[in-house]
A = this chain, B = another copy of it.
Amino acid sequence: MNENINNKLNAKSIKPTAMRQLVLHVLAEQKSAVSMQELEQKFEKADKVTLYRTLKTFEEKKLIHSIDDGTGSIKYALCRESCQCRPEELHVHFYCTECKQTYCLNDIPIPSVNLPVHFTLENINMVVKGICANCI
């Protein structure tokens, strides 16, 4: 695989096995977030569990983030280069009810909320549902 792929894996201290290179390669060419099942179908022979554990590893190492878009299957997408997945750097996600795609709105940060007193924030998930520009 690409040299670039290995660099990304190394940068997040993930051992670059064949499987991981392959999965990262496929993830990198997606325009929308993908589920494990969708990902599985993009490979000739792919074990669901290995894929599952690969994604877990990627997520732990903050190479990808997972998106619970409310459809029942978790979607995954690459994090931006320097992302630490801290609450301040999270972005809004969009689920199109027409094309059933989940998009990272990387340029739209999650607006801050004023929580009630003594509530502390660790994480936020914000998913907007509607029709995307391609489906108008």
A121 contacts B115, C-beta separation under 8 Å = no
Answer whether residue A117 sits at the interface, using C-beta atoms and an 8 A cutoff: yes
A131 contacts B122, C-beta separation under 8 Å = yes
A122 contacts B97, C-beta separation under 8 Å = yes
Q: Which residues of A, 71-129, contact B by the 8 Å Cβ criterion? A: 92, 94, 97, 105, 107-108, 110-129
B117 contacts A108, C-beta separation under 8 Å = no
Q: What is the bound-complex CA distance between A110 and B113, given in angstroms?
A: 8
Q: Report how many copies the assembly holds.
A: 2
Q: Which of B114, B125, B129, B132 contacts A127 (CB 8 A)?
A: B125
8 tightest A-B CB contacts, nearest first: A118-B133, A111-B111, A123-B129, A122-B130, A121-B130, A126-B126, A120-B130, A120-B131
30 A-B pairs whose Cβ atoms sit less than 8 Å apart in the complex: A68-B68, A92-B113, A97-B122, A105-B115, A107-B116, A108-B113, A111-B111, A111-B113, A113-B126, A113-B128, A117-B133, A118-B132, A118-B133, A119-B128, A119-B130, A119-B131, A119-B133, A120-B136, A121-B130, A122-B130, A122-B131, A123-B128, A123-B129, A123-B130, A124-B126, A124-B127, A124-B128, A125-B126, A125-B127, A126-B127
